[in-house]
Amino acid sequence: MDTPEQRIKIAVQKTGRLTDHSIDLLERCGLKLTQSKDQLFLYGENMPIDLLLVRDDDIPGLVSDDVCDLGIVGLNVVEEVRQKLLADGRKPRFKQVFELDFGHCRLAIAGPEDTDYRGVDSLKDTKIATSYVSILRNYLKEIGIEAEPVYFSGAVEIAPKLGKADFICDLVSTGTTLAANGLVELETLIDSEAVVIQTQEALTDEKQALVDRMLQRLDGVLQVRESKYIMLHAPRESLAEIRALLPGSEAPTVMPLDGTDDKVAVHAVCRENVFWETLENLKQAGASSLLVLPVEKMLA
Ligand code: PRP
Ligand code: ZN
């Protein structure tokens, strides 16, 4: 039986836009989880990996302080914590190891619809409400604009209505929140998505091996999301043209077809989505018996 010290702890957002995706992703890596009664802890049944469910803003700190070995969190939060630590003269002790391609959003400055906005100069001597004070401060410094970040821990979008700020700087994903509050997006500071961060403390060899194994599985899960297995028959003479039409495939398997010399079977993994247009173009190039299958698992 492994001791708690030998188990890997992964910090995951407790409730929010990344929660379901993060847990789903780890389960698709083969991890079976049981929920504890207090719901703050998910126990890994088949691997020595447990999840800690916490506020997203706390995740970089937990990984930096080595309470957790890994964390899944938005790049926006990682950047805010990193820039805050650096501003305080401290060193962030976590490193980003993986981009997860979900939870896409951007940190943007927005203002009331009726603002007469003429570029960043309009931000001069204004108040900007945000939970991302460090990123905003550095951005303003970079563009040479003096403005005052006003810290809000949540509900940033109501600050202009309350007369607490002229603009806001907050996450925008679909834009629904901005629209519902009569705000328009004006400047983008950073593009964000979910990432995996790892502590910079050296792990034991066993733990590091397990982390590497999980990261390799994650890579496989991410790759198959878009990947398709495609099978078709092709005239030998159009093989070059057909290969060029297969989206994101490296080396297809080409096999002779029984009873014919001028036709071959082609099997390929396409690492991009295969659209109807692609199939129509392949048919046009002479392909027949086209079959596209989803890929369930992949290990490079
Ligand atoms: C962000 C942000 C907005 C909303 C924007 O909060 O603060 O409220 O999402 O999304 P939309 O453009 O799709 O409407 P989030 O849910 O990430 O919560 P948090 O900032 O409290 O962690
Ligand atoms: Zn948050």
For 226-280, write each residue's pLDDT tens digit.
788 999 999 999 999 999 998 777 789 999 998 888 999 999 998 777 788 889 9
260 CA distance to ligand 2 middle (Å): 63
In the DSSP assignment, the letter for residue 248 is: T
- How many CA atoms, within 13 angstroms, populate the side-chain half-sphere of residue 172? 24
**pTM of the shown model:** 0.83
Neighbours of 258 (CB within 10 A): 7
Range(s) within the chain of domains with CATH label 3.30.70.120: 228-294
Range(s) within the chain of domains with CATH label 3.40.190.10: 4-103+194-223, 105-192
**What pLDDT, on a 0 to 100 scale, did the predictor assign at position 95?**
95
- Ligand 1 site-directed mutation target among 12, 13, 17, 21, most atoms within 8 Å of CB: 17
Cβ(134)–Cβ(167) below 8 Å: no
Our answer on whether the CB atom of 79 is closer than 6 Å to any ligand 1 atom is no
The SS3 call for residue 60 is: helix
Our answer on whether the CB atom of 204 is closer than 6 Å to any ligand 1 atom is no
**What pLDDT, on a 0 to 100 scale, did the predictor assign at position 225?**
80
Cβ(80)–Cβ(40) below 8 Å: no
**What pLDDT, on a 0 to 100 scale, did the predictor assign at position 223?**
83
Q: What are phi and psi of 167, to 5 degrees?
A: -130, 170
Cβ(291)–Cβ(213) below 8 Å: no
Fold designation for 4-103+194-223? D-Maltodextrin-Binding Protein; domain 2 (3.40.190)
Measured distance CA(31)–CA(49) in Å, rounded: 8
- Judging by beta carbons within 10 Å of its beta carbon (0-12, 13-18, 19+), is residue 70 exposed, middle or buried? buried
Measured distance CA(186)–CA(175) in Å, rounded: 12
Residue 2: which of 39, 35, 34, 49 has the closest Cα? 49
- The runs of H, that is alpha helices, within 132-249 are 133-143, 176-180, 205-226, 239-245
Our answer on whether the CB atom of 171 is closer than 6 Å to any ligand 1 atom is yes
pLDDT in tens, 156-179: 999 999 999 999 999 999 999 999
228-294 placed in CATH 1.10.3720.10: no
| Matching CATH number, 105-192, of 3.30.750.24, 3.40.190.10, 3.40.50.970, 3.40.50.1010 | 3.40.190.10
Q: Which residues contact 154 (CB under 8 A, 6 or more apart)?
A: 131
Our answer on whether the CB atom of 56 is closer than 6 Å to any ligand 1 atom is yes
Measured distance CA(131)–CA(212) in Å, rounded: 33
Sign for the pseudo-dihedral over CA of 199, 205, 210, 215: positive
Measured distance CA(120)–CA(109) in Å, rounded: 10
- Stretches in the chain below the pLDDT threshold 70: 1-4, 36-38
Measured distance CA(84)–CA(80) in Å, rounded: 6
144 CA distance to ligand 2 middle (Å): 28
Query: What strands lie across the sheet with 41-44, from one edge to the other?
Result: 33-35, 41-44, 49-54, 8-13, 70-74, 194-199, 94-99
**What pLDDT, on a 0 to 100 scale, did the predictor assign at position 108?**
98
Our answer on whether the CB atom of 189 is closer than 6 Å to any ligand 1 atom is no
Measured distance CA(294)–CA(215) in Å, rounded: 22
Residue 208: which of 6, 3, 4 has the closest Cα? 6
